[in-house]
């Protein structure tokens, strides 16, 4: 059985799989910037378990953050989601994981309990941007079915879907 004292070795640059002692491939992976939104939504549903407007918004928000902060994704961006832990609002955070590759497991995604459809992103060289779903869009989720709302946020222009400040440099 592995000894806890092995943890001190994990600070080294090379990741070793503690079970097999094999060096892991540490080449960084990057989000496919040209990935089709439908493919990402499929991926999101596979991760999250169902389709919903907050999930789709999270995916598009993550993609927008990569663009605004000039990130390649997965590792050169971190996010703090204010969407809390109560669905459907919290479904937004799973969309973020698919859209920009920030994940709780990598430690570059944190969730606060502000319970707002808003995410703060930090990119390379300290650039930051806060993106929030527009209140009128959130209000529109109360009418129609989940599928209708999801379809509508999939096609809405980004400026009509979100509000954001120009990214800080
Ligand atoms: Zn959901």
Please give the distance, rounded to the nearest whole angstrom, from the Cα atom of residue 57 to the centre of ligand 1: 11
Question: Which residues are near ligand 1, the ion (C-beta closer than 5 Å)?
Answer: 52, 87, 91
Average pLDDT of the residues in 114-121: 98
Please give the distance, rounded to the nearest whole angstrom, from the Cα atom of residue 91 to the centre of ligand 1: 4
pLDDT at residue 65 greater than cutoff 90: yes
Query: Would you state the pLDDT for residue 27?
Result: 79
Range in 32-36, 97-101, 111-115 the model is least confident about: 32-36
pLDDT at residue 15 greater than cutoff 70: no
Query: Would you state the pLDDT for residue 34?
Result: 81
Counting residues of the chain whose pLDDT is more than 90, the rounded percentage is 75
The mean pLDDT of the chain is 89
Average pLDDT of the residues in 145-162: 96
Could you tell me if 92 and 57 are in contact, meaning their C-beta atoms sit under 8 angstroms apart?
yes
Domains of the chain: 50-164 (3.30.1330.130)
What is the rounded (10 degree) CA torsion for 58, 59, 64, 66? 110
Query: Would you state the pLDDT for residue 29?
Result: 85
24 vs 118, more confident: 118
Please give the distance, rounded to the nearest whole angstrom, from the Cα atom of residue 28 to the centre of ligand 1: 29
Binned at pLDDT 50, 70 and 90, residue 11 comes out as very low
Counting residues of the chain whose pLDDT is more than 70, the rounded percentage is 84
- Residue 98 and residue 41: Cα distance in Å, rounded? 8
Query: Would you state the pLDDT for residue 114?
Result: 97
Please give the distance, rounded to the nearest whole angstrom, from the Cα atom of residue 33 to the centre of ligand 1: 24
Residue-wise DSSP of 109-138: EEE-S--SSEEEEE-GGG-EEEEEE-HHHH
Average pLDDT of the residues in 131-149: 95
Query: Would you state the pLDDT for residue 133?
Result: 98
Query: Would you state the pLDDT for residue 138?
Result: 97
């Amino acid at each position: 059985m592995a000894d806890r004292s092995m943890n001190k070795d994990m600070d080294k640059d090379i990741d070793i799989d503690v079970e097999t002692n094999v060096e892991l491939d540490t080449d960084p992976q990057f989000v496919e910037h040209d990935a089709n939104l439908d493919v990402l939504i499929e991926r999101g549903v596979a991760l999250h378990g169902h389709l919903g407007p907050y999930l789709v918004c999270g995916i598009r928000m993550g993609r927008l953050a990569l663009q605004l902060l000039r990130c390649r994704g997965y590792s050169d961006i971190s996010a703090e989601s204010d969407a809390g832990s109560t669905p459907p609002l919290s479904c937004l955070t799973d969309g973020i994981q698919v859209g920009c590759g920030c994940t709780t497991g990598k430690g570059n995604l944190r969730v606060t309990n502000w319970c707002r459809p808003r995410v703060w992103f930090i990119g390379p060289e300290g650039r930051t941007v806060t993106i929030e779903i527009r209140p009128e869009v959130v209000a529109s989720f109360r009418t129609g079915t989940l599928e209708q709302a999801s379809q509508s946020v999939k096609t809405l222009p980004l400026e009509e879907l979100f509000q954001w400040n120009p990214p800080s440099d």
